[in-house]
Amino acid sequence: MRRKMADSRILITGASQGIGRALAEEAAHRGAKVLAAARSSAMLKELQEQARSAGGTLEIVQADVTSRDDRLRMVQAAQDHFGGLDILVNNAGIGATGHFAEAGPDRLRTIFEVNFFGLTETTRVFLPLLKQGNRPAIVNISSVAGKRGIPARSEYSASKFAVEGFSEALRPELAKDGIDLIVVCPGLTQTNFSKNMIEQKAVLQFDHLRGMTSEQVAVATIKAIERGSRQVVLSFQGKLLALVSRFLPRVADRVAARKVRNLFKDEIAAREARRAEQKSGEPKATSEERGAKSEDRKAPTPG
């Protein structure tokens, strides 16, 4: 369903910086009533001053999406400031890099707590308000990593695949309530996402500065909201990766495995050298033993 930003009351989680902040600024600029949520109140206040001095309507609420009380506070804030909500943007997200085998269970749980449970439970508490909203929509910010699992980002990829599955199942459920569900999958984006990661152990770091700007992602997201798109995958590389993963999954597997083997070629070479050494160090069979073995092979099988 089509909608106009100018008529909408919109809540954006993770709006203190990066994509969420750009989205809050752009939505306010287009005349939406914006409620910006995040944990950092100093950054939210700065955003509010900036948006208001540009003539926009932007309210703030300090909230951690992993806290039930904070999620309820966001609902209360939407009611108090705007008398309801039309668009919920689940944008708050965190990441980590490093191989799964070298991480503890906390990394996986922390990422899922924000990227998945934070998103699903924020959605849950807002459903009653959204059902009464004007041309309502839920926007889940996923990632290209929700289309193709990325090595050394297994927990993050899994959390975004979970968001994709949840969104796919929820979309038809919400159709009866007239609520759109839009999934946005950005590719690499120029934000502090890497800097804000809970852990960075990957050998290969991605250069986020090569990606789209957060303003470009914000504009593309607003376009998707206004058109009522089902899903958008952003950036040329992102689209290509999603296509290859869907239609040529074995090629994508092989390319990823080759890349990992290349990065760890010294470790692999050292392991192979160790194995060869162990083999050559094994006691050699005597000539009688070898002879006995070959006699065994020649002996007719019984029956």
Ligand X SMILES: NC(=O)c1ccc[n+]([C@@H]2O[C@H](COP(=O)([O-])OP(=O)(O)OC[C@H]3O[C@@H](n4cnc5c(N)ncnc54)[C@H](OP(=O)(O)O)[C@@H]3O)[C@@H](O)[C@H]2O)c1
- d(CA 88, CA 126) in angstroms, rounded, equals 8
Q: Which of 3, 9, 27, 91 binds ligand X (CB under 6 A)?
A: 91
Asked whether position 94 contacts ligand X by CB under 6 A, the answer is yes
Q: What is the largest CA-CA distance in the chain?
A: 96
What 3 state SS string does 47-97 have? HHHHHHHCCCEEEEEECCCCCHHHHHHHHHHHHHHHCCCCEEEECCCCCCE
- Minimum Å distance from CB 38 to ligand X? 4
237: helix, strand or coil: helix
Q: Which residues pair with 89 in a beta bridge?
A: 12, 139
Asked whether position 16 contacts ligand X by CB under 6 A, the answer is yes
Q: Which of 12, 20, 27, 231 binds ligand X (CB under 6 A)?
A: 20
Q: Which of 51, 58, 129, 141 binds ligand X (CB under 6 A)?
A: 141
DSSP states along 133-160 = SSS-EEEEE--GGGTS--TT-HHHHHHH
- d(CA 107, CA 242) in angstroms, rounded, equals 26
Residues 46-85 touching ligand X, rule: CB under 6 A, are: 64-66
Q: Which of 58, 193, 224, 252 binds ligand X (CB under 6 A)?
A: 193
Q: Which of 4, 7, 40, 54 binds ligand X (CB under 6 A)?
A: 40
User: What mask, x for binding ligand X by CB under 6 A, covers residues 256 to 295?
Assistant: ----------------------------------------
Asked whether position 25 contacts ligand X by CB under 6 A, the answer is no
- Minimum Å distance from CB 199 to ligand X? 14
The burial class, CB within 10 Å (0-12 / 13-18 / 19+), for 43 is: middle
For residue 44, what are its two tokens? 């939210």
- d(CA 130, CA 275) in angstroms, rounded, equals 62
Specify the residue, 135 or 197, whose C-beta has the smaller distance to ligand X.
197
Phi/psi class of residue 129: alpha, beta or left (left: φ > 0; alpha: ψ in -120 to 50)?
Answer: alpha
- Minimum Å distance from CB 66 to ligand X? 5
Specify the residue, 243 or 264, whose C-beta has the smaller distance to ligand X.
243
Choose the stretch contacting ligand X; rule: CB under 6 A; options: 38-46, 99-107, 168-176, 247-255: 38-46
Asked whether position 191 contacts ligand X by CB under 6 A, the answer is yes
Specify the residue, 24 or 252, whose C-beta has the smaller distance to ligand X.
24
Residues 200-239 touching ligand X, rule: CB under 6 A, are: 208, 211
Asked whether position 174 contacts ligand X by CB under 6 A, the answer is no
Specify the residue, 43 or 263, whose C-beta has the smaller distance to ligand X.
43
Specify the residue, 91 or 231, whose C-beta has the smaller distance to ligand X.
91
DSSP states along 14-41 = S-SSHHHHHHHHHHHHTT-EEEEEES-H
* Helices 18-29 and 41-53, axial angle in degrees (round to 10): 30
Task: Give which of 65, 64, 97 is closest to 194, Cα–Cα.
Answer: 97
Asked whether position 92 contacts ligand X by CB under 6 A, the answer is yes
Which residues are catalytic, by number?
156
Task: Give which of 251, 256, 239, 260 is closest to 147, Cα–Cα.
Answer: 239
Specify the residue, 29 or 45, whose C-beta has the smaller distance to ligand X.
45
**Binding positions for ligand X, rule: CB under 6 A:** 13-20, 38-40, 43, 64-66, 91-94, 114, 118, 141, 143, 186, 188-189, 191-193, 196, 208, 211
